[in-house]
Amino acid sequence: MKNLKNLLSTLALVSCSLFATFQTQAAIIEQDIFIEDDFFGLINLGTVAVEIDNDVVNTGQGLLYTSFDFPAISLVSLEILGSTGIFDFFDFDAGVDSDNIFAGIEFLFFDIEEFVFVDNWSYQLLFDAANTDMNYADIFDSQGSLVAFGENVFLGQARLSDVSLPSSLSLAGLMALVLFSRRRAQK
């Protein structure tokens, strides 16, 4: 009889964990930024990641921008030429279609300066998937000299990841704790 109770408790724990729903509160979209320069060829400028709230996904709102629709969409990280250093943002804007987040970032603009105490480089970039004739990227060194320029700017494949709700994980943990405490109380 005791083995049967243990078996039933184990089966209940397994079945509850199989049917537990793990919801997400947001999706993070991460994409590489590429520039094709006449002199250097293909340059991987860096990586940008934005977060879009799950409450606005598939709601028919269309393009959401970080400048107008914050906090529904926001910047998570920006890496330029391998550096996630201290940036002074003069301007930043990213746009994502809330009805098709798998398409990735459809609009990206930034004008930033990197602070590396000795050599402060500046970066300007405009990427618009709807109007590719206007795309450009400029990289300036600390003296203001143009280091690289490219009109062929594009983003790599969108990588999506979910930000899970902590409540679903705590419910699963609480469920396991209750089942194990019942087992101890019976012994």
- Residue 9 structure tokens: 């408790």
Say yes or no to pLDDT of 171 above 90.
Answer: no
Scored b (16 or more CB within 10 A) or e, 136-168 reads ebbbbeeeeeeebbbeebbbeebeeeeeebeee
| Number of domains composing the chain | 1
Q: Do residues 121 and 113 touch, judged by C-beta distance below 8 A?
A: yes
Say yes or no to pLDDT of 165 above 60.
Answer: no
Domain that holds residue 151: 25-186
Secondary structure of residue 67 in the 3-state scheme: coil
pTM over 0.85: no
pLDDT tens digits for 115-161? 876 778 899 999 999 998 999 999 898 888 988 888 899 999 998 88
Q: Would 94 be classed as within a structural domain?
A: yes
Helix axes of 2-19 and 166-186: crossing angle, nearest 10 degrees: 180
Q: Would 4 be classed as within a structural domain?
A: no
Provide φ and ψ at 103, rounded to 5°: -70, -20
**pLDDT > 70 in the chain, percent:** 75
Output the average pLDDT for the chain: 81
Q: Would 114 be classed as within a structural domain?
A: yes
Q: Would 150 be classed as within a structural domain?
A: yes
Q: Would 3 be classed as within a structural domain?
A: no
What pLDDT does residue 9 have? 64
The DSSP annotation for 142-185 comes to TTS-EEEEESEEEE---EEEEEE-HHHHHHHHHHHHHHHHHHHH
pLDDT tens digits for 74-116? 888 899 887 776 888 889 999 999 899 889 999 999 999 988 7
Q: Would 11 be classed as within a structural domain?
A: no
Say yes or no to pLDDT of 164 above 70.
Answer: no
- Quick one: average pLDDT of 23-38? 83
What pLDDT does residue 169 have? 59
Say yes or no to pLDDT of 23 above 60.
Answer: no
Say yes or no to pLDDT of 1 above 70.
Answer: no
Q: Do residues 96 and 50 touch, judged by C-beta distance below 8 A?
A: yes
